[in-house]
Chain A
Amino acid sequence: NAGVTQTPKFQVLKTGQSMTLQCAQDMNHNSMYWYRQDPGMGLRLIYYSASEGTTDKGEVPNGYNVSRLNKREFSLRLESAAPSQTSVYFCASTNGPLAKNIQYFGAGTRLSVL
C-alpha cells in the first residue's frame, strides 16, 4: 500500500528553468494539497484541490501552477524557478471525515534553485 508517492525526491534547478513535481495517491481520496516547508516556517499551503476538477490557491501560490489530472494525481509546476522557491515540497491527501480527517503525506521533494 503505497499511500502518497512524490517524484522526484531531489532536484536541482537553475534560475529560470521549469519543472513539474508529481504526486499520486492510491487511497481514493477526494482532496489533495501541495505544501512547502521552509526552516522555522512550518508548512505553508501552496494550492489545494478539494475534488477532481477543482483547484484553489492557498497561502503562497505565486510562482506556481497546479493540475488535478485525475482523482489520483495532482501535479505542481514551477514555470520559471527562482532561488526563493528553494524548499522542501510535500503533497498530501485526505477524504475528510471518511479518512478520520487525517492528511496523509508523501516523503517530500527537496528542491534547490541556484
Chain B
Amino acid sequence: SQQGEEDPQALSIQEGENATMNCSYKTSINNLQWYRQNSGRGLVHLILIRSNEREKHSGRLRVTLDTSKKSSSLLITASRAADTASYFCATDPKETSGTYKYIFGTGTRLKVLA
C-alpha cells in the first residue's frame, strides 16, 4: 500500500502566491524527498530532508518534517507559472534500509495561474 498520502490532491493559485502541500506517511523513515513532475515527463528530484532534520530550504522551496506526526510539508514561495506541475513526496522507510526502495505518495497537482 502507499506509504505517502498527499494533501491537497489539487491546488490552484495565482502567480506570486505561496503554495503549500502536505505529505503523511505510515512508518519510520531514513529520509523524505520531494519530486516534481511536469506534464508528460519523468520525475525530478527537488529536495531531501533527513529524519533528524526539521526544516530545510532550497531557493524558493521550504520543507518541514515532523517525525512525531509522520508528516512533511513543501512550501513554494512566490510561485511562478513554471511551477505548474505535480509534486510527490517519497519516503525511504527504515524497514527497507539499503535498498533505496522509495515509496511515493499520490501527488499534488499544482496549477499556477498567470
User: Interface of A with B (CB < 8 Å)?
Assistant: 4, 31, 33, 35, 40-45, 48, 50, 56, 58-59, 90, 92, 94, 96, 100-108
Contact = CB atoms under 8 A, between A and B. Distances in A.
Categorize the interface residue count of chain B: 20 to 34
Determine chain B's interface SS by DSSP, over half rule. Answer: loop
B100 A90 contact: no
Nearest to A95: B100
Nearest to A35: B104
B101 A45 contact: yes
Contacts of B33: 101-102
5 contacts: A31-B100, A41-B106, A48-B99, A96-B98, A101-B100
Given A96-B100, A102-B45, 15 more contacts: A42-B2, A42-B4, A42-B88, A42-B105, A42-B106, A43-B43, A45-B103, A56-B99, A59-B1, A90-B43, A100-B48, A101-B92, A102-B48, A104-B45, A108-B42
A92 to B, nearest CB: 8
Nearest to A93: B100
Contact of B101 (A58, A90, A102): A58
A59 to B, nearest CB: 8
A107 B43 CA distance: 8
Contacts of B4: 42
A96 B100 CA distance: 6
Max chain B Cβ within 10 angstroms of own Cβ: one of A33, A42, A56, A106? A42
